[in-house]
Every structure is written in C-alpha cells, then in structure tokens.
Amino acid sequence: MKTPTKFNRRHWLRLGLGVATGSAVGLSAIGKATDPEPCETTPALELGPFPPMKSRGQLDHDADLTHVTSQNGTAKGELLEVSGSVLDDDCKPVEGAIVETWQANHFGKYNHEYNPKGEHDPNFQGWGQVMTNAEGSFSFKTVIPGLYASRARHIHYKVSKRGYHEMVTQLYFDGEERNKTDGIYNALTHEEQKQVTRTFDRTGVLAKINFDIHIRQAKPGKVTEKVLQAYTGKYKLDCTGGIEKLVNRLYGKEFTSMIIEIANQGETLYMTMPFTPTMEVVWKSKDTFDANAFYNMSLVFKRGADEKVNRLVLAWDAESSYEAPRIKSL
C-alpha cells in the first residue's frame, strides 16, 4: 500500500473541508439561477460525511421533515417545500423511483452519529424518502438548512431505481455568500453549478423551490453478473496508514480499521462502508470502477498469482491510494 505524505489539495477542496480560494476550480458564484438545458444529467456529487445512518431505521421517514412522530412541535427554521420530477436521458418521467433526502437542521446539525456538535432539534426528522408518481414527481416539506462547518447551505438527494444508475447530488441556493468559497460547489463547472442551484420562490405561505433530477438509464451488456461476482466479498481497510487523517476529520470518530463490503445485484455492483448507505459503483474498465458518490473515488481490484481478486485499492490518484486486503471466507 502506498501511503501519501500529504492529501491532494483538489480532493480536500471537493470534500469542502477547507475554504476554497480564488484558484478553486470553476466559478466562485453564479448569477441568477436558471433551469439547466433539457435532458442534461444532473451532476453527481458526494454523499457527504453525514448521511443519517441511525435515522434510516426511524419509524418516521415520510415527505414531511418538519414533524416527527411522537413529537408535538414543529421544526425550527424557515419552512421550505422542494418539489420536482425525476427524468431520464430523454426527459421522460421515471415512475417508481425512490428519492431520499437528508440535510442539516436549522442549527446546522445533522441527525447522525458522527455529527455530535450543534444543537439538536427534536422536531426535525432529518431524513426522508418518497416514491415518484406516474409523472415522475416528488415533493418534500422541510426547513432551510443552517450553516454546517465551512459548507454552503445544501440539501442531499439520492435517487435509485432498478434499470437506472443511482444519482447522488446536492441542491444549492442562489445568492448564498458561501457559494463563493464552498470547495465542492466550486469544483463544478459554471454549467454544472446552474444545474444544482435554485432560487427561492417566497410569494406564498412558505418558500418553494423546483428541483428536477435527471438520471441515466443503465446500459446492459458491459459487465455480466458472473463477472461481477468475482469482486464480491469483504475487504479490510487499515485506517492507520495515512487515510485516518481523512476519515477521522470527516466523521468525527477514530477508526483503526473498517470493513468495506462489495456486493452485486444482477449486473450492478454496490459498495457499503460503516458510515455510508449502500452506493452503486460503475464499471470503468477491467477491474476498475468509479465510486463517484464516495468523494469521486475509483475502486481498483487487484489479483494474486492465482488470478483471483485478493485486494481492493481505493484511489483518488497516484498519490492518494489505500489498499484493503480481501477477507477470506471462514
């Protein structure tokens, strides 16, 4: 395993852990947000360090994040309705897609075991999911998120349906001062920023935003289920060889090691880590997959002398790669 002496600055900017400077990739801010060009796939963005894993087992995970079952109050903050449609490559509505959302509350705190700082709001649900209707439409009632760390205000979305590539993205708000310095936002091109930035409509009782999400149909035939099964299994990542600086800062918890599980469903490969929900990884070339939702990373499977897969390399680039040996089945 190659241990880098320092992390690549570009990736730290994309993680939003530092303040982007004038040299950041892309434009520091855009003008008035407008709808993107028709049928352009929504830019894929990281899951972020705080998808609410504990909350995923909660009884209340409906479309109204401003009320929690067993609580009588309403979430603090300005109410916001985010509505939109899930559309495919041809701008046709996608019925039956699962749309998940999670975000910080009014005080900038996520409902997550790795986000101990900040004020908890017992009336804020934190995470929810809905299924799109025949028109591909979805809608969530929430609050405008508070400021978290150095990030601009944003809301996370994850869209999935069999036969389509998963989409993980983030919604940003036009006119936010931190849009100028957010590392993840400024790693996007000007056109990509337009696709994920919206302006509030405050003409009604509550603020509203329309946010369509465009996903791609999965093209069969590149990698068969039989081939993918060669990669499935568990891999153990040592978190004391350099990556601990990244992991510990992102999740506020020390990991000496972690288990990465690779599984397939038909002709699609998925990765699960202790602090993230299951995410799709996309075939790139032989033994190499893109894990865009996990910080724009690549997964490279390595083989032993017997030609069987025996380890996994998590790689951003040649200077930042981490090796995880495969755990042999008992």
Of 91, 172, 161, 89, whose CA–CA distance to 130 is shortest?
161
In this prediction, residue 250 carries a pLDDT of: 59
* Domain limits, CATH 2.40.128, in the chain: 225-325
Q: What is the pLDDT of residues 183-223, one digit of tens each?
A: 999 999 999 999 999 999 999 999 999 999 999 998 766 78
In this prediction, residue 51 carries a pLDDT of: 59
In this prediction, residue 12 carries a pLDDT of: 39
Other CB atoms within 10 A of residue 294 CB: 18
pLDDT averaged over the chain?
83
In this prediction, residue 47 carries a pLDDT of: 83
Q: Which helix (H) or strand (E) holds 154?
A: strand 154-160
Q: Is the pLDDT of residue 158 over 80?
A: yes
What's the pLDDT band for 321 if we cut at 50, 70, 90?
confident
Q: What is the pLDDT of residues 258-267, one digit of tens each?
A: 899 999 988 8
Q: Whole-angstrom Cα distance, residue 212 to residue 152?
A: 20
CA distances from 119 to 73, 79, 111, 145 (A): 16, 18, 10, 13
Q: Whole-angstrom Cα distance, residue 248 to residue 246?
A: 6
Given 1.10.3470, 2.40.160, 2.40.128, 3.30.70, which CATH number is that of 225-325? 2.40.128
Tell me which range, 52-56, 118-122, 317-321, is most confidently predicted by mean pLDDT: 118-122
In this prediction, residue 294 carries a pLDDT of: 78
Sorted by sequence, the CB contacts under 8 Å of residue 144 that are 6+ apart come out as 77, 78, 80, 106, 153, 173, 207
- Name the 3-class secondary structure at 323: strand
* Domain limits, CATH 2.60.130.10, in the chain: 9-214
Percentage of the residues of the chain whose pLDDT score is greater than 90: 55
Q: Say what the pTM is.
A: 0.78
- Beta-bridged to residue 322, according to DSSP, are 314
Q: Whole-angstrom Cα distance, residue 11 to residue 315?
A: 11
Q: Is the pLDDT of residue 18 over 60?
A: no
In this prediction, residue 78 carries a pLDDT of: 97
Residue 179, token pair as written in the block? 């849009």
Residue 326, token pair as written in the block? 């495969």
CATH annotation of 9-214 = 2.60.130.10
Q: Is the pLDDT of residue 6 over 80?
A: no
Q: Point out the least confidently predicted range of 33-37, 38-42, 186-190, 237-241.
A: 33-37
Over residues 228-238, the mean pLDDT reads: 93
For residue 208, the 8-state DSSP code is E
Q: Whole-angstrom Cα distance, residue 101 to residue 193?
A: 19
